[in-house]
């Protein structure tokens, strides 16, 4: 679990300048200014090791997998399945067969909704989510609820961005079949008490799905310790490639649910009369997969695991605290979401200015932040705001970059107000 802010020193000894050498994209100018990349919540940058893993695949052993007896196919198959084992270890899963490769978090949630949800939900059953979900953990459940007659229930949150656990205990009941919860809010940075929510679900016999897209870049996750039934995340948030992700599922559940798509690799035998399906995980991986994506995702995981995680967390929390205080010191910035447990994500507003206009000026100063509702429109509706600016930090960001953002915000104030 993440380190508590009270447990860390004010300034970390983390050698961020050495780390930054691994990320070639950071060393460029945008609009004539050195790039400051604070949009890691949308997608993270990639170290040379990940880029090289993809290049090596295409230059040295590009071939289709699971189908060929020739050398290149065997080498590609071995690397692909070794990537699955790397991800098994990364999540603490019991077996590599519980690791399903997907296009990302969104496809992982949709896979569960369209296989388990369509087959096991019925009229009057309840699906419980939270008020701070990404659209990807709302819309698939709305779709399956409309089809099956199930009902969507929502755990509320406070204006500080904290889930109401008392309300959760009342909402999760005998009709609850699934509780699907974001581990970390992409819009606010809140670290949710998923362990407690999973425990509430288990009392009623409900299954649990955890959206870990914003969690895995910041702290270690152990799916067996959590005892969740499903866990999903995307590689591109974890310093890996886009179009790649993981769905972890408990073995007995994966064995029971039907395939997601039909095609090659997910079959054992096909005739015009009937088809028999493969075992998990191949049952859920139809067609030629994103081979280089799996291999480079494993390289990203290996890179992340090679870091000193205590130092990383100290550095990131220092950025969070420093950035928060510097923004407050301006006197014209309002922080949106101040939960006591957060990853290094700060949503904020400039009084009297639209987030898009501020973000446009920051870009002219070489500073990349996200503006809008961050695919979490219900949060903005609840807070009665059109959206926010969001600065989301990674371990390769620095205090000096935060100072540049503050200077740019002062410039934006002069231009807009």
CA 49 to chain centre: 21
Q: What is the bridge-based pairing of β-strands 36-37 and 367-368?
A: parallel
Our answer to whether residue 228 is catalytic in this structure is no
Identified catalytic residue from 375, 376, 389, 408: 375
Task: Name the DSSP class of 103.
Answer: S
**Cα–Cα distance, 374 to 347 (Å, whole number):** 10
Q: Strand, helix or coil at 47?
A: coil
- Who contacts 397 (Cβ-Cβ below 8 Å, separation ≥6)? 16, 36, 37, 38, 40, 319, 344
- Who contacts 39 (Cβ-Cβ below 8 Å, separation ≥6)? 368, 369, 370, 390, 392
- Tokens 């929510």 found at: 197
| Cα 85–Cα 91–Cα 96 angle in degrees, nearest 5 | 30
For residue 197, which of 188, 189, 206 has the smallest C-alpha distance? Answer: 206
Q: Which residues pair with 176 in a beta bridge?
A: 126
For residue 52, which of 307, 304, 241, 245 has the smallest C-alpha distance? Answer: 241
Q: Is-contact 258 286, C-beta < 8 A?
A: no
State the Cα torsion 302-397-327-374 to the nearest 10°.
-50
Whether omega before 281 lies within 30 degrees of 0, making that bond cis, reads yes
Residue 284: how many other CB atoms lie within 10 Å: 24
Active site residues: 375
């Amino acid at each position: 679990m993440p380190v508590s802010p009270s447990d860390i020193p004010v300034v970390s000894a983390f050698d961020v300048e050495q780390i930054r050498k691994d990320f070639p994209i950071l060393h460029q100018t945008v609009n004539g200014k050195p790039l400051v990349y604070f949009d890691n919540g949308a997608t993270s940058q990639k170290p040379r090791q990940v880029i090289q893993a993809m290049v090596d695949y295409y230059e040295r052993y590009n071939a289709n997998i699971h189908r060929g007896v020739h050398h290149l196919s065997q080498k590609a198959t071995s690397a692909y399945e070794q990537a699955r084992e790397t991800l098994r270890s990364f999540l603490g899963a019991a077996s590599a067969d519980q690791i399903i490769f997907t296009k990302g978090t969104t496809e992982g949630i949709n896979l569960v909704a369209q296989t388990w949800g369509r087959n096991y939900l019925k009229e009057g059953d309840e699906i419980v989510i939270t008020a701070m979900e990404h659209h990807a953990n709302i819309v698939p459940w709305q779709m399956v609820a409309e089809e099956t007659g199930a009902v969507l229930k929502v755990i509320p949150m406070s204006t500080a961005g904290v889930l109401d656990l008392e309300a959760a205990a009342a909402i999760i009941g005998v009709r609850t079949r699934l509780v699907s919860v974001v581990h970390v809010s992409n819009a606010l940075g809140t670290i949710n008490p998923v362990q407690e929510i999973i425990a509430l679900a288990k009392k009623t016999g409900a299954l649990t799905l955890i959206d870990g897209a914003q969690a895995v870049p910041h702290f270690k996750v152990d799916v067996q310790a959590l005892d969740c039934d499903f866990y999903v995340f995307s590689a591109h948030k974890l310093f890996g490639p886009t179009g790649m992700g993981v769905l972890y599922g408990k073995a007995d559940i994966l064995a029971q649910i039907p395939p997601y798509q039909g095609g090659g690799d997910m079959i054992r035998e096909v005739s015009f009369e009937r088809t028999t399906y493969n075992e998990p995980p191949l049952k859920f991986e139809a067609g030629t997969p994103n081979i280089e994506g799996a291999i480079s995702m494993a390289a990203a995981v290996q890179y992340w695991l090679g870091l000193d995680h205590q130092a990383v967390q100290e550095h990131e929390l220092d950025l969070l605290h420093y950035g928060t205080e510097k923004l407050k010191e301006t006197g014209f910035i309002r922080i949106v979401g101040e939960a006591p447990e957060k990853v290094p994500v700060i949503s904020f507003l400039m009084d009297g200015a639209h987030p898009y206009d501020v973000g446009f000026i920051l870009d002219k100063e070489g500073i990349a932040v996200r503006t809008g509702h961050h695919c979490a429109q219900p949060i903005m509706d609840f807070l009665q705001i059109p959206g926010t600016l969001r600065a989301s930090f990674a371990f390769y960001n620095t205090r000096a970059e935060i100072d540049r953002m503050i200077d740019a915000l002062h410039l934006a104030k002069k231009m807009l107000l």
